[in-house]
Amino acid sequence: MATKQIELVMAPGVPHFVGDGFRVHNFIPGRSRLSMKRMDPFIMLDYNSKYYFSPTEQARGVGVHPHRGFETVTIAYKGKVAHHDSSGGGGVIGEGDVQWMTAASGVLHKEYHEKEFSKAGGDFQMVQLWVNLPAKDKMSAPKYQAIENKQIPIFDLGENGKIEVIAGEYQGLKGAASTFTPVNLLNAKLNKDGKATFSFPANYNTALLVLEGSVVVNGNEQVALDNFVLFENNGESIDIQANEQAVVLLMSGEPIGEPIASHGPFVMNHHLELVQAFDDFNQGKFGYLED
């Protein structure tokens, strides 16, 4: 199997706040080569690198906002976040848990630090990834998958560490989340000097993010904490070795290959569908969610 070559290694950019609860580095889209089209079906990635939030009585977060046409996937590494949406989905996710929300035809959504976490303060580290939907599913009913860490299948690598299969598969082990198109989302949790090998089809858009420690990719590329690696669309295999205890998120998905029209929280195929989304939102068709 040929090696998937590295196309680009990106250090995290200047962070910005989403609401007052998420201090994020944006990796997709908008920065040079990581457009929605380039990373399709992964159309947005905000990364809250580990950041200490001081204790507060008023939970920090982001208030009611709409989404249509895609899925929001939140992976918690440190801290706890509470979510609610207008289709009745919601809950609290903490370390190792995943919230997979299919906005599809439209939901209102709010995302806050969980109450007790807010009161105590602490380190907060999260990834929010937006996964695009194919045209035929963009207007399907919203749904919500609350995936607790204990529900995520684990591939044991012995002394090397383990792979958590959030979605897709790893060496035949199927992931916890159901997806609309082929998407692999894996957390590699490696011990010092631990190694793991991955294989994804050459045409899949593929990247990784280092959340803990640092790693060597494909035998010679040193990748530091909080850095993002984009792979070329050739070759299949990726090797990772941890310099120290490390956590790496790998994402690889089959491009949907349809036109993308996006504005803020709406990601559709054509401009007129965005106009429709704004009309529907303004007419209250996304439902109701208390602020």
Residue numbers of the site for Mn ion (CB under 5 A)?
109
Q: How far is the CB of 76 from Mn ion (least distance, A)?
A: 14
Closer residue to Mn ion (CB): 30 or 259? 30
Report angle CA 71, 73, 75 to the nearest 5 degrees. 180
28 contacts 40 by C-beta, under 8 angstroms: no
CA 224 to chain centre: 19
Nearest to 248 by CA among 183, 179, 190: 190
Q: How far is the CB of 36 from Mn ion (least distance, A)?
A: 17
What sign does the dihedral 202-138-99-118 (CA atoms) show? Answer: positive
Closer residue to Mn ion (CB): 134 or 264? 264
Closer residue to Mn ion (CB): 109 or 189? 109
Q: How far is the CB of 21 from Mn ion (least distance, A)?
A: 12
Q: How far is the CB of 33 from Mn ion (least distance, A)?
A: 26
Number of residues that make up the chain: 291
Closer residue to Mn ion (CB): 109 or 138? 109
Measured from each CB, the residue nearest to Mn ion is 109
- 222: helix, strand or coil: strand
Distance in angstroms (rounded) separating the CA atoms of residues 67 and 213: 34
- 249: helix, strand or coil: strand
Closer residue to Mn ion (CB): 111 or 212? 111
| 108-138: b (≥16 Cβ within 10 Å) or e | bbbbbbbeebbeeeeebbbbbbbbbbeeebb
Q: How far is the CB of 257 from Mn ion (least distance, A)?
A: 25
261 contacts 274 by C-beta, under 8 angstroms: yes
Q: How far is the CB of 287 from Mn ion (least distance, A)?
A: 14
Closer residue to Mn ion (CB): 133 or 210? 133
Q: How far is the CB of 101 from Mn ion (least distance, A)?
A: 7
79 contacts 125 by C-beta, under 8 angstroms: yes
Closer residue to Mn ion (CB): 128 or 218? 128
Q: How far is the CB of 93 from Mn ion (least distance, A)?
A: 13
Closer residue to Mn ion (CB): 84 or 109? 109
DSSP string, 25-71: EEEESSSTT--HHHHTTEEEEEEEEEEEEPP-SS--EEEEEEEBSEE
- 118: helix, strand or coil: helix
